[in-house]
């Protein structure tokens, strides 16, 4: 079995996948079995595109840099007629060659970025105009931002695929033979009964299979479109707004922030500390600085740090990313661990079947030969004897076909697809099939705080400014407060709030304003507006010289402002302990700047603690003067700040979280909170959610980081809260939980800072609303409503997938064992098989498809969340299952054996057709046994029911038969 175990649930190597697939050689319908798994050739094609792109791109850069040295003034570029008729001065190919080729020289001949903005009849401040006519003109000239996809497969494709099954093909041949022989011997229509019966069941199975496959493919397509839905912020007609990336057009001005994916090819217009990760496009992991002198932004790359505004130049299939996506979309998913395991089981059982088939055939043939040897007639073969030989062969083939439990791996897909659909209804989007089942065995969840456990709806409710603490939760209270604080403090506070921000207040048409930005930013901006500040007026007053955008590592952000008189100010805001540590002055209640002595520092620290204990997120605002003429190249100061004040932001716990945490706990899943926030805030919230208990540990990231491996060994099981964590702390925790404790770890996250942990986790869950593209890309499941309760639901579905497949495995293994033993033993003992080839195939076929459909798609029960998780070491075929399989098989064998040996006496069967009737009786008993086996498989624990139901099988079959015999 070793060879089947190498494929890991996440990030398997292509080599392993390939080897594994070759190991599964005994397959009845290859196309179907491997349909939903990765298309390796498409993948390598995509890899090739990447590599060649990377190579070309290098060459292009070198060439254009070399060419730069001889700029020869104006180029001979001619605007095509149709483009200039539409009102633009540059065509799509030229734009493509500039950006993709990183062609600075060409860019210069077009007048730089501003020149291109003009030629695209856009404006770097206002964006493009939104009149219908001009948008459609733009669309016509430059195309749209969509990638071509393979046309969807029709229903008949799946019918065709279902038909290519070995069982079906053999049955089809049987049907034809039976029809011909029957009609010749007994005439139409009486002789056609058998044949038509087989044809009917073939049709039934083909259509059920094809319908289910077809529906699945539609569903995967829907999920795929859902997965690709991305919204970006765009300025059009002077208004900043949210727009689907599919609606982007060249000329659009897009705002990009940390964690965003670049939605189209384009040029950098303005921005700060922009760092772009191009690995998704080129495989190059070293991030690239993008700024005015290297302004090229490529579609599909990610913003690793900083923020910017970009001009869209090239969209859709004209970009390299478009070409790559068109190939990748058919790349498929990796095999899931269960698929791997069950494909392995199927192959091994198939091999055993093959062995038995050969032995059976040998035994049967030996019987025939011995008889002929006795009769000394081995040179003369009658037609009957030849037919018999053929039948022996058919029996042998049937044993193989029945033995290969093709239904097992297919049931996994079926069950996963079903669960995916249901999860989608429950607001969880599954990106990788494997995620469903891994989630079912997870033993620990490391959850983010902000947005997952809390609503992410933030408001400033308390502030400590000028050494005065005040309640400011309502606009009135905020206004009151602003009238109480000294003028100077108010001025600098408003300046800090409105200038030092990653958000923006936008007025959309009718003077109704909307605040854009992260929830923390919006809360502070709203506070500023409530205090009577005017965002735009404030912004007019000064010029922003430099910005260091917020990131989770520093946990603060800073800007440098230049006032009209030339004075420069640095503003800093961020995690309060960190910013306060950089302060040595404070504004007192008179509005004067005084030294920050011991007592006032202590006062601020207690305020922070007090806010945090009330579960508020605290932020400290500070500023300092940096004199005249600050050079944008020098760093923003890190020390010597004057503390303006501290704000406490409320982010209430989501309703239902407490209950969901309790559900997880009763399901044996440990919930931990890993957050970037202050430890007291984290603790307060964790207590409120029921995560932090009295014997649990709450630890700060910087402390955790310093622990030795032995210490970690001791504390990690008890860690319930980790606060002020850096991205690497999260990653380290997850890695330790996985490797040292063998836990199956689920991680939730939203930010770029969570990406490493999401990637490392057995299952990564990203937030759909607050989550950045980078987080989503690293995740396996996207929680569309950002709610922790949904995570519990995902776990429930995961468990249900696991259990449903177990049920099916139990059912099918029983049938396989019984069919194999009955045919093998009776062939060896009596030289004949009681179940004919056609009968066996029929049972097998119905069982593979309809049985799988029935068992693999059972809804989860709440009981599922009351038992412990399976974890990493759980056996897939549990002892209970073995007991049920062996018990059922034994019971069925006894019945069939009894019928075979004593059936004629027991049912008083006499006459010439006694054998025929007996075999029919055996077949019917077998079928009914399976029906009850299937029903009893629905609940593995209640074995009494199992036995009772099982016992019903024979009497019913027998009773039916008696009626039948009686009526003849």
Ligand X SMILES: Nc1ncnc2c1ncn2[C@@H]1O[C@H](COP(=O)(O)OP(=O)(O)OP(=O)(O)O)[C@@H](O)[C@H]1O
Q: Which positions are catalytic?
A: 448
User: Which of 772, 930 has the CB closer to ligand X?
Assistant: 772
User: Which of 396, 673 has the CB closer to ligand X?
Assistant: 673
Q: Quick one: what does residue 556 bind among ligand X, Ca ion, none, with the CB cut-off 5 to 8 Å set by partner type?
A: ligand X
User: Which of 269, 453 has the CB closer to Ca ion?
Assistant: 453
Shortest distance, position 669 Cβ to ligand X, whole Å: 19
Contact present, 873 and 742 (Cβ < 8 Å)? yes
Contact stretch for Ca ion (CB under 5 A) within 423-431, 532-540, 746-754, 888-896: 746-754
User: Which of 456, 919 has the CB closer to Ca ion?
Assistant: 456
Question: Shortest CA distance to 493 belongs to which of 699, 643, 275, 670?
Answer: 643
Give the residue nearest to Ca ion (CB). Answer: 751
User: Which of 29, 675 has the CB closer to ligand X?
Assistant: 675
Whole-angstrom CA distances from 526 to 459, 484, 523, 770 are 8, 19, 5, 19
Q: How far apart are CA 746 and CA 801, in angstroms?
A: 17
Contact present, 439 and 797 (Cβ < 8 Å)? yes
Question: Shortest CA distance to 799 belongs to which of 660, 932, 668?
Answer: 668
Shortest distance, position 733 Cβ to ligand X, whole Å: 12
What are the beta bridge partners of residue 265?
314
Whole-angstrom CA distances from 397 to 30, 347, 350, 401, 815 are 18, 16, 11, 6, 17
User: Which of 453, 485 has the CB closer to ligand X?
Assistant: 453
Helix%, strand%, coil% for the chain, nearest 5: 55, 15, 30
Q: Quick one: what does residue 617 bind among Ca ion, ligand X, none, with the CB cut-off 5 to 8 Å set by partner type?
A: ligand X
Instruction: Count the helices and strands in the chain (H runs, E runs).
Output: 36, 26
Q: Quick one: what does residue 179 bind among ligand X, Ca ion, none, with the CB cut-off 5 to 8 Å set by partner type?
A: none
Rg from Cα positions in the chain: 36
Shortest distance, position 245 Cβ to Ca ion, whole Å: 23
Q: Quick one: what does residue 502 bind among ligand X, Ca ion, none, with the CB cut-off 5 to 8 Å set by partner type?
A: ligand X
- Catalogue the E-assigned strands of 214-339: 231-236, 239-244, 253-256, 265-277, 288-289, 296-297, 302-314
Q: Quick one: what does residue 619 bind among ligand X, Ca ion, none, with the CB cut-off 5 to 8 Å set by partner type?
A: ligand X
Shortest distance, position 712 Cβ to ligand X, whole Å: 21
User: Which of 524, 744 has the CB closer to ligand X?
Assistant: 524
Contact stretch for Ca ion (CB under 5 A) within 381-389, 558-566, 653-661, 743-751: 743-751
Shortest distance, position 774 Cβ to ligand X, whole Å: 13
At 962, list the tokens: 């008696």
CB atoms within 10 A of CB 448: 30
Contact present, 74 and 362 (Cβ < 8 Å)? no
At 515, list the tokens: 């605040």
Shortest distance, position 61 Cβ to Ca ion, whole Å: 36
Count Cβ atoms within 10 A of the Cβ of residue 346 and give its class: 0-12 exposed, 13-18 middle, 19 or more buried. Answer: buried
Shortest distance, position 668 Cβ to ligand X, whole Å: 25
Q: Cβ neighbours of residue 257 under 8 Å, at least 6 residues apart?
A: 303, 307, 502, 549, 772
Give the residue nearest to ligand X (CB). Answer: 676
Contact stretch for Ca ion (CB under 5 A) within 105-113, 209-217, 742-750, 901-909: 742-750
Shortest distance, position 111 Cβ to Ca ion, whole Å: 42
Q: How far apart are CA 801 and CA 437, in angstroms?
A: 6
Q: Quick one: what does residue 302 bind among ligand X, Ca ion, none, with the CB cut-off 5 to 8 Å set by partner type?
A: none
Q: Quick one: what does residue 295 bind among ligand X, Ca ion, none, with the CB cut-off 5 to 8 Å set by partner type?
A: none
Residue 473 Cα to chain centre, angstroms: 38
Q: Quick one: what does residue 449 bind among Ca ion, ligand X, none, with the CB cut-off 5 to 8 Å set by partner type?
A: ligand X
3-class SS string, 628-693? ECCCCCCCCCCCCEEEEEEEEEECCECCCHHHHHHHHHHCCCEEEEECCCCHHHHHHHHHHHCCCC
At 161, list the tokens: 């695929």
Q: Quick one: what does residue 550 bind among ligand X, Ca ion, none, with the CB cut-off 5 to 8 Å set by partner type?
A: ligand X
User: Which of 372, 735 has the CB closer to ligand X?
Assistant: 735
Q: Which DSSP letter does residue 787 get?
A: -
Shortest distance, position 657 Cβ to Ca ion, whole Å: 16
3-class SS string, 562-588? ECCCCEEEEEEEEEHHHHHHCEEEEEC
Q: Quick one: what does residue 555 bind among Ca ion, ligand X, none, with the CB cut-off 5 to 8 Å set by partner type?
A: ligand X
Shortest distance, position 457 Cβ to ligand X, whole Å: 14
Binding flag, residue 760, Ca ion (CB under 5 A):
no
Contact present, 959 and 918 (Cβ < 8 Å)? no
Q: What is the dihedral of CA 320, 757, 741, 940, to 10 degrees?
A: -70
Binding flag, residue 934, Ca ion (CB under 5 A):
no
Shortest distance, position 691 Cβ to ligand X, whole Å: 12
Query: Parallel, antiparallel, or unpaired: how do β-strands 567-575 and 556-562 relate?
Result: antiparallel
Q: Quick one: what does residue 574 bind among Ca ion, ligand X, none, with the CB cut-off 5 to 8 Å set by partner type?
A: ligand X
User: Which of 750, 777 has the CB closer to Ca ion?
Assistant: 750
Q: Cβ neighbours of residue 47 under 8 Å, at least 6 residues apart?
A: none
Residues that bind ligand X (CB under 6 A): 448-451, 502, 518, 520-521, 550, 552, 555-557, 573-575, 617, 619, 675-678, 751, 753
User: Which of 33, 555 has the CB closer to ligand X?
Assistant: 555
Contact stretch for Ca ion (CB under 5 A) within 446-454, 689-697, 705-713, 897-905: 446-454
At 95, list the tokens: 């734009």
User: Which of 743, 786 has the CB closer to Ca ion?
Assistant: 786
Binding flag, residue 677, Ca ion (CB under 5 A):
no
Task: Determine which residue in the list 252, 333, 750, 760 makes contact with Ca ion, applying CB under 5 A.
Answer: 750
Shortest distance, position 55 Cβ to Ca ion, whole Å: 38
Residue 202, SS3? helix
Binding-residue total with Ca ion (CB under 5 A): 3
User: Which of 50, 573 has the CB closer to ligand X?
Assistant: 573
Contact present, 415 and 805 (Cβ < 8 Å)? yes
Q: Cβ neighbours of residue 112 under 8 Å, at least 6 residues apart?
A: none
User: Which of 335, 750 has the CB closer to ligand X?
Assistant: 750
To which H or E segment does residue 550 belong? strand 543-551
Q: Quick one: what does residue 851 bind among ligand X, Ca ion, none, with the CB cut-off 5 to 8 Å set by partner type?
A: none
Count Cβ atoms within 10 A of the Cβ of residue 741 and give its class: 0-12 exposed, 13-18 middle, 19 or more buried. Answer: middle
Q: Quick one: what does residue 145 bind among ligand X, Ca ion, none, with the CB cut-off 5 to 8 Å set by partner type?
A: none
Binding flag, residue 751, Ca ion (CB under 5 A):
yes
Q: Cβ neighbours of residue 793 under 8 Å, at least 6 residues apart?
A: 423, 426, 428
The distance in angstroms from the start CA to the end CA of the chain is 53
Binding flag, residue 448, Ca ion (CB under 5 A):
yes
Shortest distance, position 521 Cβ to ligand X, whole Å: 5
Chain residues binding Ca ion by CB under 5 A are: 448, 750-751
């Amino acid at each position: 079995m070793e060879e089947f175990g190498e494929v890991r649930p996440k990030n398997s190597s292509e080599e392993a996948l390939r080897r594994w697939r070759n190991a599964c050689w005994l397959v009845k319908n290859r196309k179907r079995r491997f349909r939903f798994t990765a298309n390796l050739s498409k993948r390598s094609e995509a890899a090739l595109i990447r590599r060649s792109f990377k190579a070309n791109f290098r060459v292009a850069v070198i060439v254009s840099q070399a060419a730069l040295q001889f700029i020869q003034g104006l180029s001979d570029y001619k605007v095509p007629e149709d483009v200039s008729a539409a009102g633009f001065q540059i065509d799509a190919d030229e734009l493509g060659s500039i950006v993709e080729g990183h062609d600075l020289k060409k860019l210069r001949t077009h007048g730089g970025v501003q020149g291109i903005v003009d030629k695209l009849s856009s404006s770097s401040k206002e964006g493009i105009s939104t009149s219908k006519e001009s948008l459609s003109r733009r669309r016509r000239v430059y195309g749209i931002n969509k990638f071509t996809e393979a046309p969807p497969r029709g229903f008949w494709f799946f019918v065709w695929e279902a038909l290519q099954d070995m069982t079906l093909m053999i049955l089809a041949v049987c049907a034809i033979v039976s029809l011909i022989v029957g009609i010749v011997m007994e005439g139409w229509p009486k002789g056609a009964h058998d044949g038509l019966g087989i044809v009917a069941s073939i049709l039934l199975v083909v259509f059920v299979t094809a319908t289910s496959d077809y529906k699945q493919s539609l569903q995967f397509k829907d999920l795929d479109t859902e997965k690709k839905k991305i919204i970006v912020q765009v300025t059009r007609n002077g208004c900043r707004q949210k727009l689907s990336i599919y609606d982007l057009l060249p000329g659009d001005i897009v705002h990009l922030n940390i964690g965003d994916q670049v939605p189209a090819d384009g040029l950098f217009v303005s921005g700060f500390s922009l760092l772009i990760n191009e690995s998704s496009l080129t495989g190059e992991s070293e991030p690239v600085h993008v700024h005015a002198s290297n302004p090229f932004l490529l579609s599909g790359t990610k913003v690793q740090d900083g923020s910017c505004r970009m001009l869209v130049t090239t969209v859709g299939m004209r970009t390299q990313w478009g070409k790559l996506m068109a190939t990748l979309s058919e790349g498929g998913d990796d095999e899931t661990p269960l698929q791997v395991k069950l494909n392995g089981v199927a192959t091994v059982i198939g091999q055993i079947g093959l062995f038995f088939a050969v032995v059976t055939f040998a035994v049967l043939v030996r019987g025939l030969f011995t008889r002929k040897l006795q009769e000394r007639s081995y040179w003369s073969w009658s037609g009957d004897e030849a037919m018999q030989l053929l039948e022996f062969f058919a029996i042998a083939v049937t044993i193989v076909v029945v033995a290969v439990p093709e239904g097992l791996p297919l049931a996994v897909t079926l069950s996963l697809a079903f669960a995916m659909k249901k999860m989608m209804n429950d607001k969880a989007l599954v990106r990788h099939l494997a995620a469903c089942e891994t989630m079912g065995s997870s033993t620990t969840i490391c959850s983010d705080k902000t947005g997952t456990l809390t609503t992410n709806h933030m408001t400033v409710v308390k502030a400590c400014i000028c050494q005065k603490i005040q309640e400011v939760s309502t606009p009135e209270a905020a206004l009151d407060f602003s009238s109480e604080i000294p003028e100077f403090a108010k001025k600098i506070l408003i300046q800090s709030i409105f200038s030092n921000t990653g958000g923006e207040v936008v007025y959309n048409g009718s003077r109704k304003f909307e605040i854009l930005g992260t929830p923390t930013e919006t809360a502070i901006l709203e506070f500023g507006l409530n205090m009577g500040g005017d965002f735009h007026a404030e912004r007019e007053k000064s010029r922003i010289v430099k910005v260091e955008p917020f990131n989770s590592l520093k946990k603060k952000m800073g800007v440098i402002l230049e006032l009209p008189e030339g004075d420069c100010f640095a503003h800093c805001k961020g995690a309060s302990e960190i910013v306060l540590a950089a302060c040595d002055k404070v504004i007192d209640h008179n509005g004067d700047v005084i030294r920050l002595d011991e007592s006032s520092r202590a006062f601020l620290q207690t305020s922070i603690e007090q806010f945090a204990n009330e579960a508020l997120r605290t932020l400290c605002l500070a500023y300092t003067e940096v004199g005249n003429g600050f050079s944008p190249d020098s760093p923003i100061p890190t020390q010597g700040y004057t503390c303006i004040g501290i704000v406490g932001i409320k982010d209430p716990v989501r309703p239902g979280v407490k209950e969901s945490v309790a559900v997880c706990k009763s399901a044996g899943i440990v919930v931990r909170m890993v957050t970037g926030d202050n430890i007291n805030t984290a603790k307060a919230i964790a207590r409120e959610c029921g995560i932090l208990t009295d014997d649990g540990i709450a630890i700060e990231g910087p402390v955790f980081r310093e622990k030795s491996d032995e210490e970690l060994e001791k504390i990690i099981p008890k860690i319930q809260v980790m606060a002020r964590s850096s991205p690497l702390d999260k990653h380290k925790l997850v890695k330790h939980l996985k490797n040292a404790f063998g836990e199956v770890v689920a991680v939730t996250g939203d930010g770029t800072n969570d990406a490493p942990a999401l990637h490392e986790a057995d299952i990564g869950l990203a937030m759909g609303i607050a989550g950045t593209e980078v987080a989503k890309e690293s995740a396996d499941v996207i929680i569309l409503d950002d709610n922790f309760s949904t995570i519990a639901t995902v776990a429930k579905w995961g468990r249900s997938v696991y259990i449903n497949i177990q049920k099916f495995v139990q059912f099918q293994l029983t049938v396989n064992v019984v069919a194999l033993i009955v045919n093998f033993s009776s062939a060896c003992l009596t030289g004949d098989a009681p179940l004919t080839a056609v009968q066996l195939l029929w049972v097998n076929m119905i069982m593979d498809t309809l049985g799988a459909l029935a068992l693999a798609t059972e809804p989860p029960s709440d009981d599922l969340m009351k038992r412990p998780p399976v974890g990493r070491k759980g056996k897939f075929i549990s002892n209970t299952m073995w007991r049920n399989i062996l018990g059922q098989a034994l019971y069925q064998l006894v019945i069939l054996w009894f019928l075979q040996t004593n059936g004629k006496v027991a049912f008083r069967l006499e006459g010439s057709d006694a054998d025929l009737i007996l075999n029919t009786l055996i077949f019917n008993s077998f079928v009914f046994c399976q029906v009850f086996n299937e029903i009893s498989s629905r609940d593995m624990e209640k074995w009494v029911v199992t036995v009772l139901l099982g016992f019903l099988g024979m009497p019913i079959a027998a009773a039916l038969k008696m009626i039948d015999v009686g009526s003849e």
